[in-house]
Chain A
Amino acid sequence: MADNRAVIREFILESITESTVGDDEDIFERGLVRSMFVMQLVLFVEQEFGISVTGDDLQFDNFRTVERIDELVTRKLAAA
């Protein structure tokens, strides 16, 4: 959902110095955030969307871009 993407994008923008981030931009590969940021992303999506990210969902690929995070959230919400 477009709304979820905006919320995810906003959270990332609050943590980086750049003022924009593309939905398909790899925020880790571009060096916008440190590796530790992945934990903040996990906690953020859990609290914001009321989902639980465990086991096989804890894949780095799920957190590289706004798009991938949104896909994970959508999938978890649909399964809930």
Chain B
Amino acid sequence: MPTVHVRLSQRVPETLAPELMKRLFFAASSIEEFQLFTEDGSVVGVELTLNSADSAGVAEKIDRVVAEQVLTQRPLAPRSVWESPVVRSEFTDAFPELLAQDTVVVSGEGQVGFAEPLISLFGYLDRRLRAIALSLEGAREYQYPTLLPTSVLDRFGYFGSFPQFPMFVTRLHNDIDVYADFVERYREEQRVPDDLFAHCSNTDYCLPPTMCYHSFHQYQGRELAGDSVITARGKSFRYESRYHTSLERLWDFTIREIVFMGTPEFAAECRNSVMRQTFALMEELELAGGCEVANDHFFANADTAGKILSQRMMELKFELLLPVAADRSIAVGSFNLHGHFFGESFDIKGPDGGPIASGCVGFGLERLVHAFLSQHGSDPARWPTAVAQEIG
């Protein structure tokens, strides 16, 4: 595969390098690998491994991402709101060993299955987070179906902000001629036709990128009797391109979500309460980590820089970051406030007749397992006693 060195038309300050890195695989599908080149504190070029010969076209796309989505951003100084008292200097990359033992199974891109003792660890961590959710007054748990109507994401402009993530569900169009034509071709070619989608027309459903959209959909057009808390655990799906890694970043993963709906003060109090309890849990689990102001991964949108700036300035999003290596941490949870955005988008009213304010907290359970294994190793005998006892 050709490796080419592309010089950027505009330099990118190193503080914005992560913003470029997390967009490159979405810029062009032909990029297999990349490495940034820096000079005097700025990124000046990218070395690309491409699966096509069109390096000029790819360079043009990267320049566009740099100009429209990276350089328009204003870096804010990191702001930490919590630091775990647990300090750790040794980390384990347990994944290769778990793979060799068949304890984890890679079934596709960003799709990983696992066996004991990870199932019990996963269940234990979720039970603890679920208990935090249910400690909030009036909290109710729901189990949602996997499929989410596409119209739910459409209702609040998801596709405009995150066009890179959604995964759609379709099927063959229900018409005897379509089935007959498809079956005939399938028999002839002995494989699914390349133009499969020409036989499909339905885009009514997609896979949920997170759980809270199920909850807003549930209460769409309704008036709440009072402040409400909902928790749900479910499979969530985001197309992560080539960014998928071990259990760390998956296309197909599980979220434990907590949604708060009511007055702005109620949403803020719930977020604070969940944050406090989560930090205490991390300490109890003997995990190193911290919590910082963060932003969502907006993409391909003229408003990207404005959305990121306002989200960070107003501290609408905090992320729980746990180290998985000496020089690298991953976000295992986020604590968010939405203002009246979802109340207005889904026409959910409070007792005063006005739109509700909302907030949500989401934990990526596979990621939490991954961070736990990175810090404590894969041998349950070396896990904190409380965890080892609970999972028996």
Closest to A31 in B: B340
- A-side contacts of B115, CB under 8 Å: none
- B-side contacts of A39, CB under 8 Å: 303, 305-306, 309-310
A36 and B303 within 8 A (CB): yes
Tell me whether A36 and B74 are in contact in the complex, defined as CB-CB below 8 angstroms, given that A31-B340, A60-B313, A60-B314 are known contacts. Answer: no
Would you call A32 an interface residue if the criterion is a C-beta within 8 Å of the partner chain's C-beta atoms?
Answer: no
Q: A4 vs B316: C-alpha distance in the bound complex, in angstroms?
A: 30
Would you call A38 an interface residue if the criterion is a C-beta within 8 Å of the partner chain's C-beta atoms?
Answer: yes
Within 8 A of A (CB), among B306-347: 306-307, 309-311, 313-316, 339-340
Interface residue count on the B side (C-beta < 8 Å)? 16
Would you call B1 an interface residue if the criterion is a C-beta within 8 Å of the partner chain's C-beta atoms?
Answer: no
Closest to B354 in A: A31
A55 and B77 within 8 A (CB): yes
Would you call B100 an interface residue if the criterion is a C-beta within 8 Å of the partner chain's C-beta atoms?
Answer: no
Distance to closest chain A CB from B164 (angstroms): 20
A35 and B314 within 8 A (CB): yes
A36 and B77 within 8 A (CB): no
A40 and B306 within 8 A (CB): yes
Would you call A6 an interface residue if the criterion is a C-beta within 8 Å of the partner chain's C-beta atoms?
Answer: no
A35 and B316 within 8 A (CB): yes
A58 and B313 within 8 A (CB): yes
- B-side contacts of A58, CB under 8 Å: 74, 76, 309, 313
Within 8 A of B (CB), among A28-57: 28, 31, 35-40, 42, 53-56
Closest to B305 in A: A39
A35 and B339 within 8 A (CB): yes
Distance to closest chain B CB from A52 (angstroms): 10
- B-side contacts of A35, CB under 8 Å: 310-311, 314, 316, 339
Q: A28 vs B309: C-alpha distance in the bound complex, in angstroms?
A: 15
- A-side contacts of B313, CB under 8 Å: 38, 58-60, 63
Closest to A58 in B: B76
> 7 extra interchain contacts, Cβ-Cβ under 8 A, other than A37-B310, A60-B313?
A28-B314, A36-B307, A38-B306, A38-B309, A42-B74, A42-B309, A59-B313
